[in-house]
Chain A
Amino acid sequence: MADELLRVEHVTKNYGKTTANRDISFSVEAGQTAVLLGPNGAGKSTIIKCIAGLLRFKGDIYIGGEPNKSLGAKRKLGYVPELPAVYELLTVAEHLEFIRRAWRMEDDGYGGELLERLELDDKRDKLGRELSKGMQQKLSIACAMVHRPEVLIFDEPLVGLDPHAIKELKAIFRELRAAGRAVLISTHMIDSVEDYWDVAHIMMNGEFAATRRADETEGRDLEELFFAITEGGERA
């Protein structure tokens, strides 16, 4: 329990009569990378948005031991939304400055480092509206990381990225794990998380159909596991 940086307890989310998430519980420990897998409409983005504090839900979510809507929890969270969230009239560098100021942080050079790694350093003075979808996604990632959060949640982070950015982001995921951060990634691109996941939660119809740890795969890769569960009826 002590190093569980993200804890989700019995979360249910309804939209009218439709249940998007039903009694979801899981946790992500420090230094762990958890992935949410599932077909379209499985409820991955909904649980991610609940964790980010954007939706109302039944149940409890704790970030760093604090309720997810408290200021303390927000300080520890980094969130990369499914659609890149950039301000049209702010330059790339100003986005990072805004986040630093809003989180009351000094510039420790990490923002610049992120821009360099994500090949955005030559776009510092470009406006958000001038960036391509892929570049906006990279900027969104940099914004979520620049305040060095303990918990990072990524909603389909690789969509629209170029090969270099995908490679770099995968390296970043590994570094975050090594640095003791809790990382939760929602994706339907199974092969993209194949080589760095610790726990995989496979979602179907708003529920966890199965949870597997990386050392419990019995030699099967994640894709085989996914289809065995979603199409073959394997459970638990």
Chain B
Amino acid sequence: MSALTYLTLTALKNRAKGILRSPAKLVYTLVIVALLALVVVSGMLGGQEGELGAPNSQLGAIIVGYFALMFLMTANSGFSTGMSIFKMPDVNFLFAGPFRPVRVLFHGMLNQMGTAFIMAAVILFQYSWMHLSYGVSLGGLLVVVLGYAAVVFTAQLTAMAIYCLSSGRDGVRRALRAVYVAATAAWVGYIGFRALGAQGDVLNAVCDAAVDGVGRLFPVAGWLGAACYEAILGEYAGALALVGAWAVFTVALVVLMAKIDQDYYEDVLQSTETSFNTQEAAREGRISESAPKKVSVGKTGLGGGRGASAFYYKHRIENRRSRKWLLSGMEIVFVLVNIGFAFFMRDTGIVAPLAFAAYMMFFYVAMGRLMKEMTKPYVYLVPEPPTKKLLWCLRESAAGYLVSAVLSFAPMALFVDAPVDSVAAAAVAYFTYAYLFTAGNLVTERVFGSMTVKALIFLFYFVVLLLMAAPGIVAGIFAAMVLPESLALLSLAGVNVLITLLAVFLCRNILSCAELNN
């Protein structure tokens, strides 16, 4: 057995043993498997023959769109920090060892493929609604999982190739960036063009465009997304042709790496070290700044703050230097999604868009800089009351949440079938949900700070949010029986504020010792 095969098999064996030896990991694995079984069984029982939807271009567009988002985001990292398919021990033992670079490359790719499959397994949880809405069978879903794993894997390989080819060569980087932007713009432009030319149903036109003969030409995501869609429809010949395109692209990347950039070790080293440092920092409870490589210092000095408020002024400087403006790119996407959802639900009033926007918030609201602050000693050492320090640390997110509320709900006032005062009250309620969820994060951190199984924490967080949101919802429902909609929504917002303040007060001990949090 070669050393590399031995390494791969032993690592796999030890990982499996690790699951059996760690009760927490074992419980987590069993819970995931049980949940998966539950989703599949409930999906199968949920719809009788004839009640199930049929696969259509909407399904294809969802698959292609999701694949495209993943591919573009991952491949884009090749222009900055790079993406490494290697780990630090690979660098120390394999790069310096008597192995041919191309064999080491294949070793890295094999391991990366495993990671891609784990990431893709999340899609299995979508079985229920995909089965009910689009009639996707279990086999069809497995095809999507395979496709997604292939997209993740190819995206990482693409990012690595981009980084290796353009590292230290500005001209090549600019050229590759131009290709990346042009391909994306052409694809988005085509879909936009089809939407504008639609006679009637814009949504259907967009969905059709994503999977038609032109839309599916978009590299990797288009090929694999459309291949999955064709396979679900039973059109295997079309699917095979698209998979062929993907295979050619992947082999070309490997050949490019192996032939043109034989000495890829140096290029990969930095990105491997970066990802190693990030993982180490996470393991030790430290959080690295997600700031750009070149930080513009700009105006210096805190410019304000006494006692606990010094944290707020410090956070403002840190946000400016890390180029975190009011909304992150992801938050802007969520705002657009909120508006889009409200547009389709415009006849149902403002409550459904508010519920959807609040649900979306679940995916991006976090504790902001407080989380980073808790990994340094100062927030514990500063002689100020802990509740005060917590509130000042949470303040930096306020402006962003406010802007998000205004940008999401102001356009809704134009087309949603609801009075303006109700839409305004919904915006206020949305803002209070942001802090309610932040407080939920705080509660989770207070209870589970030392837990390492993040998925269990995530489940707990979900339950905590439901419990914390319940009083506001109940208050809103009762208020709606006797008050106009706008006042009912404001009642909901008021209860949210009270619950948030109570949670912050009860969690103030989180700053009494660092041990609770790491």
Which residues of A are interface residues toward B (Cβ below 8 A)? 49, 52-56, 69, 71-72, 74-75, 77, 79, 81, 85, 87-91, 93-94, 97-99, 101-104, 125, 127, 129, 143
In the complex, are the beta carbons of A103 and B383 less than 8 A apart? yes
Show the binding face of B for A, using Cβ within 8 Å: 288-289, 291, 295, 297, 300-302, 305-308, 310-311, 313-314, 317-318, 321-322, 376-378, 380-385, 512-516
| B311 proximity list for chain A (CB < 8 A) | 102
Given A54-B377, A54-B514, A101-B306, verify A89-B318 contact (CB < 8 Å).
Answer: yes
Nearest CB on B from A211, distance (A): 27
Knowing A56-B515, A102-B307, A127-B297, say if A87 contacts B318 (CB, 8 Å). yes
Majority secondary structure of chain A interface residues (helix, strand, loop or mixed): mixed
Sample of 6 A–B contacts (CB below 8 Å):
A49-B514, A54-B377, A77-B381, A85-B378, A102-B384, A127-B321
What is the CB-to-nearest-CB distance from B370 to chain A, in angstroms, rounded to a whole number?
14
CB proximity of B277 to chain A, nearest CB, Å: 12
A54 and B295 contacting across the interface, CB-CB below 8 Å: no
Q: When the two chains form their complex, are residues A104 and B306 in contact, meaning their CB atoms are under 8 A apart? A: yes
Residue in contact with B377 in the complex, picked from A85, A89, A90, A104, CB distance below 8 Å: A85
Q: How far is the CA of A53 from the CA of B376 in the complex (A)?
A: 13
A125 and B513 contact, CB distance less than 8 A:
no
Instruction: For residue A133, give the distance in angstroms from its CB to the closest CB of chain B.
Output: 13
Asked if A74 and B383 sit within 8 Å, CB to CB, the answer is yes
Question: Which listed residue (A52, A72, A87, A101) contacts B381, Cβ 8 A?
Answer: A52
Q: Quick check: A85 and B376 within 8 Å, CB to CB? A: yes
B311, B314, B318, B514 interface centre (most CB from chain A within 10 Å): B314
Interchain nearest-CB distance for B220 vs A (Å): 34
Q: Give 8 A-B pairs besides A94-B300, A127-B297 with Cβ atoms closer than 8 angstroms.
A: A52-B381, A87-B376, A89-B318, A93-B300, A94-B301, A99-B378, A101-B302, A102-B382
**B310 contact set on A, CB distance < 8 A:** 98, 101-102
A126 to chain B, nearest CB (A): 9
Contact A53 B383 (CB under 8 A): no
Name the residue among B302, B381, B382 with the largest chain A CB count within 10 angstroms. B381
How far is B306's CA from A129's CA once the two chains are assembled, in angstroms?
25
Which residues in A have their C-beta under 8 angstroms from that of B321?
89, 127
- Closest-CB distance, A104 to chain B (whole angstroms): 5
Contact check, B377 vs A79: say whether CB atoms are below 8 A apart.
yes
- With a cutoff of 8 Å between Cβ atoms, the chain B residues found around residue A56 in the complex are 513, 515-516
B383 adjacent to A55 (CB under 8 Å): no
**Residue in B closest to A97 when the chains form the complex, CB atoms:** B302
Q: Report the bound CA distance from A77 to B378 in whole Å.
A: 11
Question: Roughly how many angstroms separate A90 CA and B376 CA in the complex, as a whole number?
Answer: 14
A61 to chain B, nearest CB (A): 12
Q: Which residues of B contact A143 (CB under 8 A)?
A: 378
Partner of B383, one of A49, A75, A87: A75
**Cβ of A81: which chain B residues have Cβ within 8 Å of it?**
377
Whether A97 pairs with B378 at a CB distance below 8 angstroms is no
Question: In the complex the two chains form, what is the Cα distance from A71 to B512 in whole Å?
Answer: 11
- Name the distance in Å between B382's Cβ and chain A's nearest Cβ: 4
Contact of A87 among B297, B314, B512 (CB under 8 A): B314
Question: Cβ of A103: which chain B residues have Cβ within 8 Å of it?
Answer: 382-383
Q: Is the CB of B302 within 8 A of A98?
A: yes
B371 to chain A, nearest CB (A): 14
Rounded to whole Å, the gap between the CB of A25 and the closest CB of chain B is 20
Find out whether the CB atom of B378 lies under 8 angstroms from the CB atom of A102: yes
- Taken together as a complex, chains A and B put the C-alpha atoms of A88 and B318 apart, in Å, by 8
* A89 to B319 Cα, complex, angstroms: 9
Q: How far is the CA of A129 from the CA of B322 in the complex (A)?
A: 12
Task: List, in ascending order, chain A residues with CB within 8 A of B306's CB.
Answer: 101, 104
Give CA–CA (A104, B306) in the complex, Å. 6
B381 touches A53 (CB 8 A): yes
Q: How far is the CB of A142 from chain B (nearest CB, A)?
A: 13
Contact check: which of B318, B385, B516 meets A90 at CB < 8 Å? B318
| Known A54-B513, A102-B310, A102-B384; contact A89-B317, beta-carbon cutoff 8 A | yes
B381 touches A129 (CB 8 A): no
